[in-house]
Structure 1
Amino acid sequence: MFTELLADPATLLPFILIGFAAQMVDGALGMAFGQISSTLLITLGVPPAAASAGVHTAETFTTAVSGISHVAHRNVDWRLFFRIVIPGVIGGIAGAYLLTQVDAAAAKPFVLFYLASLGAYLLYRGAMHKHTERRPRVVAPLGAAGGFLDAAGGGGWGAIVTSNLLVQGSNPRKTIGTVNTAEFFLTVTISATFIIALGWEAFTTATMGLLIGGVIAAPFGAMFAKRVQPDLLLAFVGAILTLTSGFALVRALI
């Protein structure tokens, strides 16, 4: 299987580049691996269902490497981590169950509009140097909501949890590292049934490319988050959240 996938590097290379670019953004800013990679895969002609399968399978591995990298760079607030990871996993299980019972697509435009607005606000705060750090108060419910919407809506853990923690005044570097590290446990929970059902069939050329590119990029994203000045990091988060959510909102409404 793997020999066949690696036999033609020219076929694999575009997916490696997509995985690398998406993970660089996700590792550095705490969001958007799924949004970026899914959009680019579909643009390259990958069917939406196959793109979603590839992204979720690859994320199981890229979030593991990203989490280890953030831990190594001391980007993780462990108190915050334990406050979001358990509610996040519970919310993810509930969201995955809901997705098998009802169509949650109707709520997607409202969530995307909320995220785009939140991104614009974060961009303003970062550009205007108005970010005042304080320990966030609303954490467990936020983790549960992020996990639920990520599973029911096909993605968005980082966008929802990272952005809302930053609005509450959480340190940008620690928030990004903590949310990325917690995402591994969420992704494993949501993807477990999918991986068991598909087995090795989940490892398509697209999946392998995303996995390779994402694993290579993961350490660099954590390094970026550690070194960039907090206000600039906040502005970057706001910009990427506004762009990805705004683009997805336009697509959902057309």
Structure 2
Amino acid sequence: MTFADLVPFIMIGFAAQLIDGALGMAFGVISNTLLIGMGVPPAAASASVHTAESFTTAVSGVSHIAHRNVDWRLFGRLVVPGVIGGVLGAYVLTRIPVSAARPIVLAYLAAIGLYLLWRALRREAAERRAKVVAPLGLAGGFLDAAGGGGWGPIVTSNLLVQGMSPRKAIGTVNTAEFFVTVTISATFIAAIGLEAFTVATTGLLLGGVVAAPFGAFLAARVRPRLLMLMVGAVLTLTSLYGIWRVLA
């Protein structure tokens, strides 16, 4: 493996983590899509992405804490169900194909993305504390492991739908993601061994670690309405692309 081999993955890792750190989603979706497109088996692709994310989410979480983007009460309510869902999703992916449910999940996320776009273009609404949290953590952790990406799209978008501050939702979800990702990675290692991880993991890791602090900085500085608009756009576009790939 030479540095030239790593450069494309470093660039993808940097771009994916910059978006993920600022908007609370997209690292897993972008990276996993790339690896599967290169012919990596779904379980191995998801394992590789989560190995890289174990490091990128650690840096991202520290950065969000430093910028005071974290709601600690919400964090505590997300982590435990997220970890449980991640373990279940990783185990299911190594045993049972879950591709049949993917178009349904993607259609749901596309609808959520369009709704967030509509809300962002309206007058700014008063912020509210999220009420439905534990089920989001469980579903987000499960789909993140089973689908190679889903924690941010599921959890961040639904917290925003409930009226939470975009800055706090993004920062809290990114910080909690570290614990979910480490658990998923450990489950993959136990289930399919270290040979599942590809050399692409190194490039994704390097690019993602460098980008992580910048994403947290953007989340703390960008206006809430613009953040919601960007979240809605990214969620809608990635979900529609995923549906097109499934149906093509």
The correspondence of residues 58-69 of structure 1 with structure 2, limited to 5 A, is 58-69=52-63
Contact 2:87 2:187 in 1 (8 A): no
- Count the aligned residue pairs: 246
1:70 and 1:212 map into 2 onto residues whose CA distance is 19
> Which piece of structure 1 moves more, 109-118 or 29-38?
29-38
The correspondence of residues 186-197 of structure 1 with structure 2, limited to 5 A, is 186-195=180-189, 197=192
CA pair 68-147 structure 1, distance change in 2 beyond 3 A? same
User: Following TM superposition, by how much is the alpha carbon of 1:202 offset from its aligned partner in structure 2, in angstroms?
Assistant: 5.6
CA pair 123-209 structure 1, distance change in 2 beyond 3 A? same
Q: What corresponds to 1:161 in structure 2? A: 155
Does residue 179 (structure 1) correspond to residue 173 (structure 2)? The answer is yes
2:193 and 2:96 map into 1 onto residues whose CA distance is 22
Partner letter of residue 27 of structure 1? G
Unaligned runs of 5+ residues in structure 2 are none
Deviations 1:151-174 (A, max 9, x none): 222320100000000000011000
For 1:95, which of 78, 89, 95 is the aligned residue? 89
Q: What corresponds to 1:149 in structure 2? A: 143
CA pair 212-101 structure 1, distance change in 2 beyond 3 A? closer
2:125 and 2:106 map into 1 onto residues whose CA distance is 23
Q: Percent identity?
A: 69
1:102 and 1:51 map into 2 onto residues whose CA distance is 16
Unaligned runs of 5+ residues in structure 1 are none
2:93 and 2:228 map into 1 onto residues whose CA distance is 32
Contact 1:57 1:195 in 2 (8 A): no
For 1:81, which of 59, 75, 83 is the aligned residue? 75
Q: What corresponds to 1:198 in structure 2? A: 193
Contact 2:49 2:148 in 1 (8 A): no
1:119 and 1:48 map into 2 onto residues whose CA distance is 28
The correspondence of residues 123-138 of structure 1 with structure 2, limited to 5 A, is 123-138=117-132
CA pair 46-214 structure 1, distance change in 2 beyond 3 A? farther
Greater than 6 Å deviation, 4+ residue runs: none
Does residue 118 (structure 1) correspond to residue 117 (structure 2)? The answer is no
Contact 2:64 2:70 in 1 (8 A): yes
User: Following TM superposition, by how much is the alpha carbon of 1:57 offset from its aligned partner in structure 2, in angstroms?
Assistant: 1.4
Q: Secondary structure at the match of 1:216?
A: helix
1:140 and 1:117 map into 2 onto residues whose CA distance is 22
The correspondence of residues 203-222 of structure 1 with structure 2, limited to 5 A, is 204-222=198-216
- TM-score, normalised to structure 1's length? 0.90
Deviations 1:132-162 (A, max 9, x none): 3100111112111211222222320100000
Contact 1:131 1:231 in 2 (8 A): no
Partner letter of residue 193 of structure 2? L
What is the root-mean-square deviation in Å for CA atoms of aligned residues? 1.7
